[in-house]
Amino acid sequence: MITYAALSPHPPLIIPEIGQERVKEVQATVDGLRRMAQELAETKPETIIFLTPHGNVFADALSSLGQPQLTGDLSGFGARQTWSAANDLTLLQEIAQQSIEANLPFVIIDDGTARKHRLNPNLDHGILVPLYYLQEAGLTDVSLVAISIAYLPVLDLYQFGTLLKTAADNVGRRVAILASGDMSHRLKSDGPYHYHPDGPVFDETIRELLGSGDTQALLNLPESLLSNAGECGYRSIVIMLGALDEVNYEATIFSYEGPFGVGYLTAGIKPGAPRESLLQRLQAEQRQEQDKLRQQESPPVKWARMVIENHVRKKPRPVLPVELEHLRKERAGVFVSLKKHGQLRGCIGTISPAYGNLAEEIANNAVSSASEDPRFLPVEIHELDDLVYSVDILGKPEPATREQLDPKRYGVIVSLGGRRGLLLPDLEGVDTVEEQLRIACQKAGIRPDENYVIERFEVIRYT
């Protein structure tokens, strides 16, 4: 069972040996952490699951340290103390099994894996800082599970949180969840990042939504707000709240301050009475939205989807529908893009025609986008219902100057010798010519100061 959940900041400065006299400048945070740690200790957990944004963080997989004994230190910050705690391997293996059954990517990192891939086998400061105050509160013999967050879709992270509770229940363990994370790093111009007005907005929004128990609103925060705020704790919070999916909860804000341009929020959460699963409702709404997209998709997208679904299921390529026969009479470069829960899942294309006709161009690039994009693993069957497709049919490229570019209307091709990079138009987050050219040059391996050739092209985008 989940006995307690908590949100903790993790500035090493609040460890007395490190901060020394400066600890007084964050006394509210220290006091808040001590109150939270005492309340958590009173629930008598057998294991604490830490969720950290500073461990081995991957874009496409959650991970956990897998050594029997977990150790770490803050020597990089000037502290001499070493921390050590038993890893709850029984619970960890159950979490891994639950993740497999839910098709959520989860990796256990042991010493061998860490050496092979140059990963960190030790507890990081996102865990050690709150652990200091938990041990101060008497939790010196409790076992740990050390999980690093991932940049997966928000609903996947929330679902992973539900698996933590299921795993705890299955092994009969009393578990506390501790989400480690600072709030905005953009509260002041003299902070670690430049000030952004969304920094204070983000911090206040998290405080309000946690305090009111509005999990759905917290899950729906816009990505632009998270990015502008420069936060590091949001995904830890999402996973933590997933562990409370089927219960009401009461949150207490123990402290909040931002003296150095970074928000430090400490909160404790007590699970309450059972309630309807938010995850099930959100997943049902997501399926309904996907059904609408399938009904409204354009013929080129339908063809790309049919080809990919058959390819992933290892079936022969489907017959081209009669209404798409006209594609056999056309030729053009094509890009096929896949997204999953709003995040790119694959994109492969051809700048100019590479196949006999447009139908073949779409089909072959669709297969490549699903199985050969080097940034992603091949699409699996369980993902097919979650994919959103787009097909960009490219117009003929023409020479252009910087002044003739428009990232919303035109795609861009940069070339120098045998190096060539392309960027499609109207991409989220690419709003300026400078950004468009920078990314295209980066893809081509061309330095921005080199004398490269620019071409522009228009596309017809089908969704």
Q: Tokens at residue 51, please? A: 């969720």
Instruction: Tell me, yes or no, whether 170 and 120 share the same domain.
Output: yes
Instruction: Tell me which amino acid residue 437 is.
Output: L
Ranges assigned E (strand) in 20-105: 47-52, 62-65, 69-73, 82-86
Structure-block tokens of residue 108: 């256990």
Query: According to the model, what pLDDT value does residue 57 have?
Result: 96
What is the spatial order of strands in the sheet that 343-349 belongs to? 343-349, 334-340, 387-394, 459-462
pLDDT at 456: 95
Does 407 map to a domain? yes
In a domain, 282, yes or no: no
* Order of strands, sheet of 453-457, starting from the edge strand that comes earlier in the sequence: 398-399, 453-457, 411-416, 419-423
Question: For residue 377, is it within any domain?
Answer: yes
Same domain, 212 and 87: yes
Question: Which of 335, 360, 388 is the endpoint of a domain?
Answer: 388
Low-confidence ranges of the chain (pLDDT < 70): none
Cα–Cα dist 428/224, whole Å: 11
Q: What is the pLDDT of residues 143-202, one digit of tens each?
A: 999 999 999 989 999 999 999 999 999 999 999 999 999 999 999 987 778 899 999 999
Asked if residue 184 belongs to a domain, the reply is yes
Strand 398-399 to 453-457 pairing: antiparallel
Find out whether 304 and 348 touch, Cβ atoms under 8 Å: no
Residue 284 lies in a domain: no
Same domain flag for 195 and 69: yes
Residues 350 and 401 in one domain: no
Tell me the pLDDT tens digit for each residue of 39-77: 999 999 999 999 999 999 998 899 999 999 999 999 999
Given a contact cutoff of 8 angstroms between Cβ atoms, the answer to whether 63 and 107 are in contact is: yes
Residues 379 and 405 in one domain: no
> Does residue 288 lie in a domain region?
no
∠ Cα 45 235 275 (to 5°)? 60
Residues 413 and 367 in one domain: no
pLDDT of residue 342: 81
Task: Please give the Cα distance from 365 to 368 (Å, whole number).
Answer: 5
- Give per-residue pLDDT as tens, 98-114: 999 999 999 999 999 99
Q: Cα(402)–Cα(380) distance, rounded to whole angstroms? A: 41
Please tell me the total number of residues recorded for the chain in this structure: 463
Q: Residue 286: which of 441, 435, 156, 424 has the closest Cα?
A: 156
DSSP 81: -
Model pLDDT, residue 92: 98
CATH number for the domain spanning 371: value is 3.30.700.20
CA dist., res. 62 & res. 124, Å (int): 16
- Report if residue 250 sits inside a domain: yes
What residues contact residue 460 under an 8 Å CB cut-off, 6+ apart? 392, 393, 395
For residues 127 and 72, is the Cβ–Cβ distance under 8 A? yes
Does 88 share its domain with 186?
Answer: yes
Q: 243, 276, 309: which is the final residue of a domain?
A: 276
CATH number of the domain that residue 178 is part of? 3.40.830.10
| Domain of residue 430, CATH code | 3.30.1490.150
Kind of pairing between the strands at 387-394 and 459-462: antiparallel
How many domains are there within the chain?
3
Q: Considering only CA atoms, which of 11, 17, 32, 19 is closest in space to residue 82? A: 17
Provide the residue range defining the domain that includes 126.
Answer: 2-276
Position 291 in a domain: no
Which of helix, strand or coil describes residue 177? Answer: strand
223 and 314 within one domain: no
- Report the distance separating Cα 212 and Cα 210, nearest Å: 5
pLDDT on residue 343: 84
Does 314 share its domain with 233?
no
pLDDT of residue 31: 97
Q: Which of 359, 388, 417 is the last residue of a domain?
A: 388
Q: In the sheet where 247-257 sits, what is the strand order?
A: 106-109, 62-65, 143-148, 47-52, 175-180, 2-8, 264-274, 247-257
- Residue pair 150/62 in contact by the 8 Å Cβ criterion: yes
Examine the domain organization and report whether 208 and 100 are in the same domain: yes
Residue 371, CA distances (Å) to 293, 365, 375, 395, 437 in order: 23, 10, 10, 25, 27
Same domain, 84 and 233: yes
Reference 122, options 66, 49, 171; nearest CA is 66
CA dist 269 and 43 (Å) reads 11
Q: 374 and 258 in one domain?
A: no
pLDDT at 97: 97
DSSP line for 197-232: THHHHHHHHHHHHHHHT-HHHHHT--HHHHHHHT-S
